[in-house]
Structure 1
Amino acid sequence: MIPELDGATWHKSTYSGNSGGCVERGILPTGRQAVRDTKDRERGALLFGPSAWQAFVNAVRDGEFGG
């Protein structure tokens, strides 16, 4: 477990439905962002700095990951 995640404020994605594919976004005290699987929190999280987070959000919005 990454100690930085202990102070995170987590929010379930509004796009997570009843299909079981749920993710959470964490806002860390350091200003970084984290993403984790709601059902498997022990696997850890992906961490993003501010510019990387914005690039990730833009890529998701633009459909770069399929779906």
Structure 2
Amino acid sequence: MAGAAWRKSSHSNGAANCVEVAMLADGSVGVRHSRRPDAEVIVYSRTEWAAFVAGVKAREFEPVG
């Protein structure tokens, strides 16, 4: 993960308790907790990340009811 450019959502308003993402050199996407930058990073393929982002945009993860 050395050299990865981590970023938070613009909706985080500078909060410390956020998820950060980084585009990795092999095309995958790393995800980590901003308060624990040295902890484990979850890595998703570009296809997995694209499916997640599409689901967010389609509001698939909104509470029902």
**Conserved in 2, the CA contact under 8 Å of 1:7 and 1:29?**
no
Q: Map of 1:1-67 to 2, 5 A cutoff?
A: 5-17=1-13, 19-66=15-62
Per mean C-alpha deviation after superposition, the further-off stretch among 37-46 and 19-28 is: 19-28
* Number of equivalences: 63
Aligned counterparts of 2:60 and 2:16: Cα–Cα separation in 1: 22
Q: Please state which structure has a larger fraction of its residues in helix.
A: 1
Name which one, 1 or 2, has greater alpha-carbon Rg: 2
Task: Structure 1: give runs of 5+ residues left out of the alignment.
Answer: none
TM-score by length of 2: 0.72
Give CA deviations for 1:7-51 in whole Å, capped at 9, x if unaligned. 312122212135543121111111111111111112222211111
SS in 2 for 1:53: helix
Aligned counterparts of 2:17 and 2:60: Cα–Cα separation in 1: 18
